[in-house]
A and B are shown apart, each in its own frame.
Chain A
Amino acid sequence: AVPVSAAVAAAPSEGAMSNGVYVPPSAANGDVKPVVSTTPLVDFLMQLEDYTPTIPDAVTGYYLNRAGFEASDPRIIRLISLAAQKFISDIANDALQHCKMKGTASGSSRNKSKDKKYTLTMEDLTPALAEYGINVKKPHYFT
């Protein structure tokens, strides 16, 4: 999704306005999706009152403070930790897909299902991260 907010200075003023979000005329083609407003997230923020994400608030708050971010609302911290968690779990799921693909691609497990023991290795993680644009290089072991 491409953020719309600060974008086009030369945009004509006749762009359509719907629920407070400026939609440029090119959106009619369908290749640019407008960013959703924050309304559903505001509701979600209310739900975060008693929700504890996996990352403790203190840890996330510590790293945010190091970056200069002073959170006024503890729910903001929980939102950020949730986002970070999702980020990592998305990568983990992609790596799991790679692992499963490598396992079943050879055709070894026809009779029995693939054993449930998956091990995350760098060989699975590297292509998963490459899709996100992150290139990791594991140093070769010196024997």
Chain B
Amino acid sequence: RSGSKQPTTPADNYYLARRRTLQVVVSSLLTEAGFESAEKAAVETLTEMLQSYISEIGRSAKSYCEHTARTQPTLSDIVVTLVEMGFNVETLPAYAKRSQRMVITAPPVTNQPVTPKALTAGQNKPHPSHIPGHFPEFPDPHTYIKTPTYREPVSDYQVLREKAASQRRDVERALTRFMAKTGETQSLFKDDVSTFPLIAARPFTVPYLTALLPSELEMQQMEETDSSEQDDQTDTENLPLHMSTDDSGPEKENASVLQQNTSLSGSRNGEENVIDNPYLRPVKKPKIRRKK
């Protein structure tokens, strides 16, 4: 039962309507018996009793019927139920024939709210076979079907190539401009410096050094495999510094090459070499014969 302040759901309304009908029935029965008026508590009591009486008959009759392995209750089940509840069944026909009886109209049955034709969108999904027919229908499909809100990505080859090419060009231009703005610039025009800045070229003292030595990526790979050995690590850290300084003399260059060779030979123990370039293999030191 719901309290007086709580909003009533349709189920509560359904329940209350029938309860009110029972109250009306009780009142009519009391009037038949000869009462002019009654206490509210007395009417409530009798209503409650009537409701539980009907419910108990239903429950008990169902139990008796199921007790005999049936599902549909019959007259005999009800008779046995009434007898069990202490009701004298023989007097029932006599009671039915009494003169004054009032008929109460049934409470109005409200249909389920039907969505108007204008609002329905699409066909409702039919019931699958495991759902009984008296269950309500599925709601309109627009309530549970979702449509993705993104557009399908373009998969046309030509458009994609164009997009990739323009994106690469834009990235390149942005990067070069960034480097020009933050680093040294040279200009082709004497008076106008800012219009077409060129990134200043840094001359290497030994230009062919980068061609001879392995790339930065391979250096990083060697560094990772070399991290377990502490001795070689300092050498590898010094090497990039050697490469970037401009005033490295030829002696230092030889020393750096030698140091790198040692690091390479040292790191060969645990390294699985992906690139098997013969020019990048570690150099085998020639045996130095000491003449006595």
Contact = CB atoms under 8 A, between A and B. Distances in A.
A and B co-occur in one complex: yes
Nearest to B83: A3
A142 to B, nearest CB: 15
A48 B96 CA distance: 9
A136 to B, nearest CB: 6
Interface stretch (A21-29, A71-79, A104-112): A71-79
Q: Is the interface of B mostly helix, strand, loop or mixed?
A: helix
Contact of B58 (A68, A79, A96): A68
Interface in B33-66: 33-39, 41-43, 45-46, 49-51, 53-59, 61-62
A59 B105 CA distance: 10
B96 A82 contact: yes
Interface residues of B, number: 62
Nearest to A81: B54
Contacts of A71: 73
A87 B75 contact: no
A76 B61 CA distance: 11
Nearest to B109: A58
Interface string A72-114: 1000100111111111110111011001000000000000000
B105 A86 contact: no
Given A54-B101, A121-B39, A121-B42, A36 B51 contact: no
Interface string A124-140: 11000100101010100
B35 A92 contact: yes
Contacts of A83: 57, 82, 87, 92
A69 B64 CA distance: 11
B90 interface: yes
Given A40-B93, A58-B106, A88-B49, A69 B39 contact: no
A73 to B, nearest CB: 8
A42 interface: yes
A55 to B, nearest CB: 5
Given A62-B18, A125-B45, A84 B73 contact: no
Interface in A25-78: 35-36, 38, 40-42, 44-45, 47-48, 51-60, 62-72, 76
A71 B65 CA distance: 12
B42 A117 contact: no
Interface string B224-256: 000000000000000000000000000000000
Nearest to B31: A92
B49 A134 contact: yes
B18 A59 contact: yes
Given A60-B54, A68-B62, A83-B92, A96 B83 contact: no
B109 A55 contact: no
Contact of B83 (A35, A45, A122, A138): A35
Contacts of A44: 92-93, 96
Contacts of A1: 83, 88
A18 interface: no
Contacts of B93: 40-41, 44, 47
Contacts of A45: 75
A82 B92 contact: yes
Which of B51, B54, B58, B96 has the most chain A CB atoms inside 10 A of its CB? B54
Contact of A68 (B26, B59, B101, B105): B59
Nearest to A65: B58
Contacts of B105: 56
A132 B26 CA distance: 18
8 contacts: A41-B75, A41-B79, A44-B92, A70-B73, A82-B92, A92-B33, A96-B34, A119-B38
Q: A-B pairs with the 8 shortest C-beta distances?
A: A67-B58, A69-B58, A120-B38, A56-B106, A64-B58, A92-B33, A67-B59, A58-B106
